[in-house]
Structure formats: structure tokens, C-alpha cells
Amino acid sequence: MSAAPPPQSIVVLDVEGVLTPEIWIALADEYDIAALRRTTKDEPDYQLLMQGRIDVLSEHGITIDRIQKVIEGLEPLEGAKTFLDALRAETQVLLLSDTFEQFISPLMAQLGHPTILCHRLEIDVDGRIIAFRPRVLDQKRRAVEAFQAMNYRVFAAGDSFNDLAMIDAAESGFLFRAPASIAADRSDLEAFVDYDDLLGALRTARAELGIY
């Protein structure tokens, strides 16, 4: 029997709040709707969070066209592309996000079109968002476990409640620009606010497993 191939590495990253602005907060600011400021940093139940967002959009008559116009005016966070380019030069990188294909394309173009796995929205003929369709439930954790089953060593970073499952499943995981409440609750995790520090931590974690 031949020996198993040596492990390879892949880094999985959350997107909003890590590489890009929070889209829902941008919408809240644009349309002055405080209820849309609630994100996965505040609400661990994503299904509940999204249904509330859909209800608010419907109440205010905000269609997908109006949302996309706001998103087209956004830019990645300062330093995000430099960080991502450096990381992609060293290892495979996959973005795992609970955003939607109909939202994120303009920002991905500005980041050099990295691979992203996310969800889809159901939109009616009038452009109203009527439902969201998760690609799979608990997609971030399941993606990590799928890569591990293919002999990858997975390293993860995110900022919100919905990132904790993938961080815990990974060989090493970190918080990045997480709110104080999450960082305090998960004091077992290293937390960073600077891209250079996160890049260094990911390099160290990979080196500790003999992956360069």
C-alpha cells in the first residue's frame, strides 16, 4: 500500500468585516434603517437574522437594484487586497461567506476574483427579495471538514458568531477584528486587528505543522 501524500494547506476566510465592509451596515446607513445594522456579530441565529432583514427590506420597499447600487459604491477594507494577494501567493485560499451571489460580485472583482462560496437570494419579478437559499446549512464548518477529508490542513479566520464553527473545526483558527463580546467569550482564540499580524499568525500555524 502506498503512503498517503503529504498534507497541503488551505486558508478559509470570512469576508464581510474581514476583507470588505459589512454590506448590511452600508445599507442601514444609506437608507437610515437602524434595524439593518444588526449582523452576525450580534445575532448567532442566521436564519432569524436573515428573515428579519427580508422583512425590513419589504417594509421599506427596497429592491435588489437599490441594494446593488449601494454595493457598487463600496470598496474592500484598507489593506485587504494586499493581505489577500500575499496569502494567495503562499497557499490556497477560499472565502466562505454567508453573503449572496447577487451582492458580492463587485467587491470580489476589486479583490482580484478570489474563489468564494456563498448563498443565493430568491427575488421576485419586481426585484423584491422574498427568501434566501442557503447553499447548505452550516456551510463553513462542513467546508472545513470536507477539505480535511481530502488531506488538507485547514486554517481559518473570521469575526462573527457564524465563523466560530469553522474556526473550531480547523487545525488552527483566529479571530480578526471581532467585537469585544466575542473576543472575550472566546479568549482561547488569538485575536488580531492588523492584517500583517494575521498573516504572520497563519504562517506560524502552517510552519508548526511542517507546511511551508
The residues carrying an active-site annotation are 14, 16
Q: State how far the Cα of 148 lies from the Cα of 193, in Å rounded to an integer.
A: 27
Q: Which residues pair with 129 in a beta bridge?
A: 123
CB 204 within 8 A of CB 189: no
3-state SS class at 181:
helix
- Report the candidate in 192, 195, 89, 208 with the shortest Cα–Cα distance to residue 153: 208
Please enumerate in sequence order all residues whose Cβ is within 8 A of that of 211, keeping only pairs 6 or more positions apart, or say none. Answer: 7, 8, 9, 91, 153
The secondary element (H helix, E strand) that includes residue 68 is helix 64-72
Parallel, antiparallel, or unpaired for β 92-100 and 172-176? unpaired
187: amino acid identity, one letter: S
Q: How far apart are CA 172 and CA 46, in angstroms?
A: 24
Query: Which class for 25: exposed (0-12), middle (13-18), buried (19 or more C-beta within 10 A)?
Result: middle
